[in-house]
Amino acid sequence: MESENKSDWLYRQLHQRVMRMRDQEAFPTVRQLMAEYGLSLVTVTAAVRRLKEKGLVESFVGRGSFVRRERQACFHVLMLQPNWESAYLDRNRDMLIEAVRQFPMELEVCRYDYRVDIFAHLNEYSADLIVLDAASIDRLRPEQVMMLTQSVAPVILCSNAVPLEGIRYVCGDNNAVGMLAVRHLTENGHDRLGFLYCEPHVLTSETVVGSFNFAASASGCKVTLLDCGMRSGDRPEAKIREFARRFADGEFDFTAMFAISDYGALVALREFEVLGIEVPETLSILGCGNVKVPGIERLTTVDTPRSQIAQEVATMAYHILGHHEGFRTQVNVPPVMAVRKTVRQLPVRQVV
């Protein structure tokens, strides 16, 4: 391992050590650290210098070094979000701001360039704990797993489920989302279903698709897939408009459609009604997310409770920073139905 990597490793170890020490507690000397960790003067000096630059350790001539960390003060929690415009991200931010108020924590929100590998830059941020929200990941690479688990500040993934040892996350239960959508539609008499895939093909959305198809098959339903073929950065409007026209032309026979996002559901609702297709009289539409956007007050949707996710994140952060034991570090929050006005109860369940 090169000297720079050894220094980074030692810095992480010493940073975590400082987090457990009292303010003004004596900090080991460079010579003591060299003996304890078996590392060179250059490596130890570089790591200690970084602690001093962060204001965590202060040295006095003739007295030694001391921790400068007032434990009774608020912990600094940093929320990192990708820098695209999203009501979903805004909602996550607002809910976490509210949730941390009950704990001795101060929340800072920072937007980063979504095109960069944020995992490679985690150690460039100064915080007691990092909440990484809606990271642009599908499947983590081995080096990204290492960056997460070896970050100087502990990291909680928000909105991404990564069930690997050592990774902390809070996420909506995507398996339950698809099943709850099918249950709601079949309870209302629908068994010819459309699935509007208006999000990029990533692991989280594929999980919803899989659970929806499984539940639909188990319930004896026919599913028509309307795939917008999206990648990150794409827009779904043109494809949704095409699907609406094809429905109006009689190409599809489903009586209810589940959209994998509220945005896609609301776009579809407008496009269908422009073509004279009444919602829900002719076609029922079910969304996903319950994001506070114009038109949501009408849309029946599978709600991923943002407030509960934020509460779980804040509680987990509190336990981590307090060095508590026996708390959950991987949490899947179950969805609930937000029943409004876009799903019709059919008089008699239709048989294909």
Higher per-residue confidence, 314 vs 164: 314
Alpha carbon distances (Å) from 50 to 7, 13, 35? 10, 12, 19
Q: What is the pTM of this model?
A: 0.75
Domains of the chain in start order, with CATH, are 3-67 (1.10.10.10), 75-171+306-333 (3.40.50.2300), 174-304 (3.40.50.2300)
204: pLDDT strictly greater than 70: yes
Secondary structure (3-state) at 285: strand
> What residues does 259 pair with on adjacent strands?
196
Residue of 18, 88, 6, 82 whose CA lies nearest to 292: 88
Q: How many C-beta atoms lie closer than 10 Å to residue 298's C-beta?
A: 14
pLDDT, one tens digit per residue, over 116-150 is 899 999 988 888 899 999 776 666 788 988 999 88
- Quick one: three-class SS letters along 19-69? HCCCCCCEECCHHHHHHHHCCCHHHHHHHHHHHHHCCCEEEECCCEEEECC
337 φ, ψ (degrees, to nearest 5): -90, 135
Distance CA 41, CA 39 (A): 7
CA geometry: angle 220, 301, 261, nearest 5 deg: 90
- Cβ atoms of residues 178 and 221 within 8 Å: no
pLDDT digits (tens, 9 = 90+) for 41-86: 999 999 999 888 877 888 888 888 888 865 445 788 999 998 887 7
Which among 260, 254, 179 has a CA at the least distance from the CA of 227? Answer: 260
Summarize pLDDT for 316-331 with one digit per residue, the tens: 999 999 888 899 999 9
Supply 350's token pair.
């239709």
